[in-house]
Structure 1
């Protein structure tokens, strides 16, 4: 089989896993912005100061969650 066809089939088979992961990540609204920025930075594939994007994604995601106060349980009265 041609390598391009194998890559296409692999990508299509992982599409369902990717979509369900995104749905699970964004379903809890308490971390919505932190998850969004973490995901976007991680897929950017850039390095800054010799550090790769997944490391920056985690650091900036944690920083955004702390700055915006995400993850705190809201009490409804």
Structure 2
């Protein structure tokens, strides 16, 4: 069995990185950033863009579910 891993998807990862930076550093609203990202070549709908923004994996965190007596937590990936 091979190891499971997550890897960026070339062009789309660059656009998403740009989008995160724009949302963090500019006065643009998320919908405007999504529209510009679509023009840059991002292929996802507005709802999926919102879901991606809230996904902790995009900021390097992985969710570890509760196991036996341990609590669930987010860890650096």
Q: Which has the higher contact order (CA 8 A, sep 6+)?
A: 1
Structure number, greater radius of gyration: 1
* Structure showing the higher strand proportion among its residues: 2
Q: Do these two structures clear the TM 0.5 threshold for a shared fold by scoring above it?
A: no
Q: TM-score, normalised by structure 2?
A: 0.28
Q: TM-score, normalised by structure 1?
A: 0.28
* Structure showing the higher helix proportion among its residues: 1
